[in-house]
């Protein structure tokens, strides 16, 4: 293969790759967690460990915000 054919092959592969990357739409996932603030220490039904377990569910790229 000469240089022009190699360049054309690379451009074609990049174009096909860009097409397939753009055709797959990622869905945004939102997780809202209700908390009872300091009452987690005394509530056996919703402890701090329960919150940790929820946050470790494997949801990628999320931000934890307390408001």
**Residue pLDDT, tens place only, 32-64:** 778 887 888 888 888 888 888 887 876 656 666
Res 25: pLDDT: 67
Which pTM was predicted?
A: 0.46
CA–CA separation, 4 and 16 (whole Å): 18
Residue 55 token pair:
């946050």
pLDDT higher than 60, residue 18: yes
| All structural domains of the chain with their residue ranges | 3-55
Q: What residue spans of the chain are helical by DSSP H?
A: 3-23, 48-55
Residue 20 token pair:
């397939």
Task: Give the length of the chain.
Answer: 67
Res 66: pLDDT: 63
More confident residue, 43 or 65: 43
Res 48: pLDDT: 86
* Other beta carbons within 10 Å of 12: 10
For the chain, what is the mean pLDDT? 75
CA–CA separation, 20 and 13 (whole Å): 11
């Amino acid at each position: 293969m000469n240089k022009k054919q190699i360049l054309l092959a690379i451009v074609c592969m990049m174009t096909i790759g860009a097409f397939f990357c753009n055709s797959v739409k990622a869905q945004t996932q939102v997780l809202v967690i209700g908390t009872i603030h300091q009452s987690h220490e005394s509530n056996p039904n919703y402890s701090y460990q329960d919150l940790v377990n929820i946050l470790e569910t494997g949801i990628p790229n999320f931000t934890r915000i307390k408001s």
